[in-house]
Amino acid sequence: MTRLRFAPSPTGALHIGGIRTALYNYLLARSTGGQFILRIEDTDQARYMPGAEDYIIRSLAWLGLNPDEGPIQGGPFSPYRQSERTGIYQEHALQLVESRKAYIAFDTPEELDLMRQRLMDKGVSTPKYDASVREEMVNSLTLNADEVSRKMTGKVPYTIRLLVEPGHDVVIQDKIRGEVTFDSTELDDKILLKADGYPTYHLANVVDDHLMQITDVIRGEEWLPSTAHHVLLYRAFGWVDTMPTFSHLPLILKPNGQGKLSKRDGQKFGFPVFPLAWHSDHIEESIEGFDSYGFEPAAVINFLAFLGWNPGTEQEIFSLDQLIEVFDAERIHKGGARFDYDKALWFNSQYLQHLDYTIVHERLMQYAENENIDISGVHVEAVFKLLQPRLHRLKEFFTIGYYFFTDQLNYDDAEINKKWNPEAGALLQKIAEALKKTEPFTAENISIIVKELIAASGLKMGVIMPLVRASLTGAIQGADVFEIAGILGSAKTIERFVKMAGWNVPK
């Protein structure tokens, strides 16, 4: 039985890199009939952000990545919030101290700085708290038992550090990258338990993955270097037999390839990097999300799945369920992938083309309400069907089709002036008259009437048609004019033609 977890830290909005990690975990869990667990790694009190956990949960729900176990649904390994498990980590850290795999360190942050400075002055490029310096520091290795217990009872702050033996290779097996070797001499004595009693990521992660019986760890590449420490921890605890497999995902890069995509890049490049929009007192400015940009969650899932993985066939459009069918962790790439917004838009439009109106109705109503758009008297479904092929994002619906919802048209004066002439105006007037008697007022009937009148007038299609469209929409290009007229209805259509008939071209 496979068990995978997505373990984000609630320090802010989750961005698409995190979402993709969640997706791959979800996909592997579902494709192997295993469980998908959400664990909140809130062990950093300083960076904790209220609302972030809720944001994570809502984001996963929006995308359909529903956990089997987690802080909301509970589960056999509760609690799933690390801040509620501090006792467990303390016990385990102490256990390591007893077995001499870890030790207690009393050095203050200031003393640590001093140590680093001292080493750098000696020409050490990467000062580390390791075998080379731990004998010179204030810890349970250098102090005698009495001094240690006196400090402990005297409430002197302390941390617990992993004791790393230098001089041997630590080999990790990564499912994506193969064998990766680290020289333990390069590894520092990582802090396991912080002075505030909270564990660091390394301890909490290993302890929880073990206790929660996680079988496979899929996480970002930024964790590859510290995996050596994690393996050492599994050994120290004597858990190597049940150690999970590791897969380190390539990073999602900025569009220009310069570094990993970061939270600020949304602003910088003009596209969303977060799943959901978020307005909160706890963040400087409200952020946009794929949802507020008008993306379909299924499309977000689809293109994120393909950023670092592909099924090896030429099919690119996959629903979440289809992805579960074909997902194969063996095919995850090694190299980072740049985020390509154009391709994301293409995926989205592919989904938009095939959406049934019933699915978007509610969201459309929501957009209308948010932007104070009056939809009364408009057959929104018909408008949607007409505009559907031209939508790249659902949000564009009310901008592309604005002329259905207002009589204040934005006329493209320059183009209209170029085409307009008195004969065309007269024809428009004639068309308006004829349409008064057109019954029923359907696109087909309108088309017949208008085309007949145009033919009879002898005016060129290329001159009159742009004006016909501009009458109704303000612009000379766009959706089928007759369909537009049909949806607009007789009264508005005639009114708009009459208005255009009386257009004044400036001299």
Binding to RNA (CB under 7 A) within 369-388 occurs at none
Q: Residue 230, interface with RNA (CB under 7 A)?
A: no
Q: How far is the CB of 317 from RNA (least distance, A)?
A: 9
Strand order in the sheet with 35-38: 35-38, 3-6, 216-220, 245-249, 169-174, 178-183
**Residue-wise DSSP of 225-265:** TTHHHHHHHHHHHT-GGGPPEEEEEPPEEPTTSSSB--TTH
**Residue-wise DSSP of 90-126:** HHHHHHHHHTTSEEEE---HHHHHHHHHHHHHTT-SS
Position among 4, 5, 6, 9 found at the interface with RNA (CB under 7 A): 9
Task: Quote the CA–CA distance of 99 and 90 in Å, as a whole number.
Answer: 14
Q: How far is the CB of 294 from RNA (least distance, A)?
A: 15
Nearer to RNA, 35 or 43 (CB): 43
Tokens of 57: 């949960």
**Would you please indicate which residues are annotated as catalytic (active-site) residues?**
263
Contact status, residue 56 vs residue 14, Cβ threshold 8 Å: yes
DSSP 506: -
Nearer to RNA, 33 or 109 (CB): 109
Contact status, residue 5 vs residue 214, Cβ threshold 8 Å: yes
Distance of CA 455 to the CA centre of its chain: 54
Q: How far is the CB of 200 from RNA (least distance, A)?
A: 4
Q: Residue 414, interface with RNA (CB under 7 A)?
A: no
DSSP 351: H
Task: Quote the CA–CA distance of 136 and 142 in Å, as a whole number.
Answer: 7
Contact status, residue 475 vs residue 401, Cβ threshold 8 Å: no
Q: How far is the CB of 225 from RNA (least distance, A)?
A: 4
Span near RNA by CB under 7 A; candidates 92-100, 145-153, 173-181, 364-372: 173-181
Give the x-and-dash track for 115-154 against RNA (CB under 7 A). Answer: ----------xxxxx-------------------------
Q: Residue 485, interface with RNA (CB under 7 A)?
A: no
Q: Residue 477, interface with RNA (CB under 7 A)?
A: yes
Contact status, residue 59 vs residue 6, Cβ threshold 8 Å: no
Nearer to RNA, 195 or 506 (CB): 195
Position among 335, 377, 458, 506 found at the interface with RNA (CB under 7 A): 335
Q: Residue 373: what residue type?
A: I
Task: Looking at residues 231 to 290 of the shown chain, list those that interact with RNA (rule: CB under 7 A).
Answer: 250-251, 253, 257-260
Q: Residue 389, interface with RNA (CB under 7 A)?
A: yes
Task: Looking at residues 10 to 49 of the shown chain, list those that interact with RNA (rule: CB under 7 A).
Answer: 11, 41, 43-44, 46-47
Q: Residue 175, interface with RNA (CB under 7 A)?
A: no
Contact status, residue 160 vs residue 195, Cβ threshold 8 Å: no
Nearer to RNA, 369 or 423 (CB): 423
Span near RNA by CB under 7 A; candidates 95-103, 271-279, 305-313, 422-430: 305-313
Q: How far is the CB of 361 from RNA (least distance, A)?
A: 21
Nearer to RNA, 112 or 506 (CB): 112
Position among 468, 488, 500, 501 found at the interface with RNA (CB under 7 A): 468
**Residue-wise DSSP of 294-319:** T--HHHHHHHHHTSS---SSS-----
Q: How far is the CB of 41 from RNA (least distance, A)?
A: 4
